[in-house]
Amino acid sequence: MSPRHKVEAMTDQAPATESDTPDIPEVPGKPTSASRTTLSHIMTHNDTNLLGTVHGGVIMKLVDDAAGAVAGRHSGGPAVTASMDEMAFLEPVRVGDLVHVKAQVNWTGRTSMEVGVRVLAERWNESTPPTQVGSAYLVFAAVDADGKPRRVPPVLPETEKDRRRYQEAQIRRTHRLARRRAIVELREKRAAEGLDD
């Protein structure tokens, strides 16, 4: 199995009981606040694209860095990016903006977790409130030193906002799984009809 397919196979799984996975012991839950993180960075001319604004790839790297830190802190060890959902760029980011990337675990499965990220920007030399310029949802898989799945602590939502985020994450997970199933079924149908591409 290729590394990409191995990561896909270990994400978006339904929570399992102890008897389903005797080789992956249960771990106690952790509150949302235990791993919540903010990463801040001032954008410079090195970060710009051909239009003179900050390149989307620079923002995506900051998002992945912050989400990876949260996933590692929550799971207590290595975690790899399995997917990035709904990366939305709401406003352009400019040179001289101080960008804050706020991340937290929204939902946990058996070996995977969804991390929600909000990206805010403010002028480095002004005292105006920051503006939300982006958001994303990433799925991380916790792995051991051999790259094998490792159980993650259940996330314990602490506030109504945390509970809402948990419920929304479950909806996104349901949609990811349904989309994946529909694509597999379509490909199998096309192959059966001799339309294999």
CA dist., res. 19 & res. 38, Å (int): 37
Question: In a 3-state reduction of DSSP, which class is residue 73?
Answer: helix
Residues 15-33: tens digit of each pLDDT:
333 334 456 567 889 999 9
Closest CA to 140 of 156, 167, 117: 117
pLDDT value at position 28? Answer: 87
Residues 92-118: tens digit of each pLDDT:
999 999 999 999 999 999 999 999 999
**pLDDT surpassing 90 at residue 78:** yes
pLDDT value at position 149? Answer: 94
Annotate 6-74 with DSSP letters as a single string: HHHHTSSPPP--TTT-TTS-----EEGGGT-EEEEEE--GGGB-TTSSB-HHHHHHHHHHHHHHHHHHH
**pLDDT surpassing 70 at residue 165:** yes
At residue 179, φ and ψ (nearest 5 deg) are -65, -45
**Ranges 163-167, 177-181, 191-195: which has the least confidence:** 191-195
Mean pLDDT over the full length of the chain: 89
pLDDT value at position 24? Answer: 56
